[in-house]
Structure 1
Amino acid sequence: MYKEMKKLASCLLVTLILSGCHSTSKDERYNSMSANEIYQQGVKNTNKKRFKPAVEDFEALEARYPFGDYADKAQLGSIYALYLNEDYAQALPATDRFIRMYPRHPHVDYAYYMKGLIHFSEAMGFFSKYLPMERAERDPTPAKKSLASFDHLVTHYPNSVYANNAKQRMVYLRNLIAENELFVARFNLKKGAYLAAANRANYIVVHFDKSPQIEEALAIMVQAYRRLERPELAQDAYTVLKQNFPQSEFVQKLA
């Protein structure tokens, strides 16, 4: 038993030594490189779609020059490479870290944009890339987080070069979230959960007033309030529906 344990310990020691040598070897490749050379190598690897080596370059750059002129560039480069590699679990805390460390940085708007973009990619979902999926069936949480990040960007940095793109994505995200809320409202109405249906539909009307889902949301409110025997609320919703969507099929059906 003792011999077996000793043999196992020896094997582990050899493994650790080899691992340490490998790690040291990887680190030593930067010894003869300047900060700019490491940075340019990271940029080159990113452009060549070698994202993992790029992240290693940027991390090594920050570790070796934590207080230099390249520390912030290294973090931004790492965020971008992680995003392109679809490593969102690492990219998100990296953006938060940059924002926390450099709240007044001239490119902090880029960090907020990347944060929104990462959540946006999460909102699209991995499976939706390869499998058909209704947009309303996706988890709306990443979409809401993306919307919040983009909203912060356009509100606090309206002159940012990323503001226009963020605004365009916000329109899509608002419709996506509204569509999800409408999906749930329909489900609740069908299942007889009328109060829940009315609340979901009302949420759409209040928070997504320019979305195309407003029309049906108002119709659901009319139906739900009638089922709840709240004629005044039902009539109010119907009046708004008729005034704003006079040609709607729901106006005739619910008359």
Structure 2
Amino acid sequence: MKVSSVRNSTRALLVVTACALALSACAGNKKNKPRLAYEERPVELLYATGADRLDRRQWNQAVNYFQEVERQHPYSEWSRRSILMQAFAHYQGNDYAEAVADADRFIQLYPGNPTAAYAHYIKAICYFEQIVDVNRDQAATAQALDALRDVVQRYPRTEYAADARLKIDMVNDQLAGKEMTIGRWYLRAGDTLAATNRFKTVVDRYQTTSHTPEALYRLVESYLTLGLMEEAKRNGAVLGYNYPGDPWYGDAYKLLTSKGLKPAVEPKGGGGRGIFRMPFRRDKDKTVQPPGATDSNVVVQTSKATDQRTIFKLPLGKKDEKLPPVETTPEPK
């Protein structure tokens, strides 16, 4: 009786497990199922329609058409291009996780292709645009910095590296701002030694950022509190030599002279405390577009007479030749 009961229980468990696996597979297939109904179409038409949707800022539709390029023409040149276009469309739609996944897929499939540079670039930009303000955790900031540096090291003479260098400056300023925020908190809490370590980090690691003058002033302030007069004088001298006209040096000069420590450099500013911060901008219009996005073998023209967009397909290598239209798409109302 017990054996029969065990067998029945085992059989029921197997049935339940099989059903669960089947449902899971169905759910997975539903999630991965292309949104466009399968209809065999020329690769140029699919790609051109995806590019057209990008122009219209219809990011999800653009992704669908570029996915169709991969599905219907997996071994074509257009398929390789479409992966980067998917990454760009996902990025423009703020779907950063999918954009990074597309970029990683391209890097894995075509690591030696020259356009892999763009995959590394768009991946770094996705991390960059997920950076949060200095009052929150900066894990994404460190990740963005590593990815941007990777672009500069791999492709130093490209336009991607030029943009990455600008963003590295912004990221460093962000990380320095985080250290300053924590340091000020320690000062308010009366933990001067801990605050000093934070300000020293800014001076040592982020000395080219806009936070350096304040960090040097805070070190002067902290060392005076700790009774380390020579250290206070030394940091004041560094501040005066490098930023003689900065308002933070004016404050440091007053503080040092009040303690009988007269710095060698006279302040050139008015002595008021000013704050300058590098603006942290996220501008998708400034992001470099994928290779061939604006100079491909596909032309989309708008007819003023009919107010319709006509998509032409061009043979590879013949950009000046126009063939008869293959699709006409009305303008959205």
TM-score when normalising by structure 2:
0.60
- In structure 2, the partner of 1:116 is 124
Q: Deviations over 1:134-169 (max 9, x none)?
A: x53354333333333222222221221223222222
C-alpha distance in structure 1 between counterparts of 2:174 and 2:34, whole Å: 48
Q: Does 1:48 align with 2:46?
A: no
Q: Deviations over 1:211-249 (max 9, x none)?
A: 121111112223334445555544443332233233412
Range moving further from structure 2, 188-197 or 84-93: 188-197
- In structure 2, the partner of 1:237 is 235
- In structure 1, the partner of 2:99 is 91
C-alpha distance in structure 2 between counterparts of 1:136 and 1:163, whole Å: 25
Q: Deviations over 1:34-55 (max 9, x none)?
A: 2222222211111111111211
Q: Are the equivalent residues in 1 in contact too, given 2:90–2:96 (CA < 8 A)?
A: yes
What are structure 1's unaligned runs of at least 5 residues?
1-12, 126-134
Task: Give the structure with the larger helix fraction.
Answer: 1
Change in 2 beyond 3 A, CA 1:226/1:96: farther
- In structure 1, the partner of 2:90 is 82
Change in 2 beyond 3 A, CA 1:193/1:46: same
SS of the residue corresponding to residue 185 of structure 1 reads helix
- In structure 2, the partner of 1:246 is 244
C-alpha distance in structure 1 between counterparts of 2:243 and 2:186, whole Å: 23
**What percent identity do the matched residue pairs reach?**
27
- In structure 1, the partner of 2:319 is none
Give the CA deviation at 1:189. 1.5
- In structure 2, the partner of 1:184 is 182
Question: What amino acid sits opposite 1:156 in the alignment?
Answer: R
Give the CA deviation at 1:91. 1.3
Question: Which of the numbers 16, 24, 38 marks the counterpart of 2:46?
Answer: 38
Question: Which of the numbers 176, 199, 206 marks the counterpart of 1:208?
Answer: 206
Question: What amino acid sits opposite 1:88 in the alignment?
Answer: Y
- In structure 2, the partner of 1:164 is 162
Task: Give the structure with the larger strand fraction.
Answer: 2
Q: Are the equivalent residues in 1 in contact too, given 2:176–2:202 (CA < 8 A)?
A: yes
Q: Are the equivalent residues in 1 in contact too, given 2:196–2:219 (CA < 8 A)?
A: yes
Pairs within 5 Å for 1:65-80: 65-80=73-88
Give the CA deviation at 1:80. 0.5
Range moving further from structure 2, 135-144 or 203-212: 135-144
Please report the RMSD computed on the Cα atoms of aligned residues, expressed in angstroms: 2.8
Aligned residues: 226
Give the CA deviation at 1:78. 0.5
Q: Are the equivalent residues in 1 in contact too, given 2:50–2:66 (CA < 8 A)?
A: yes
What are structure 2's unaligned runs of at least 5 residues?
1-22, 257-333
TM-score when normalising by structure 1:
0.76
Question: What amino acid sits opposite 2:60 in the alignment?
Answer: K
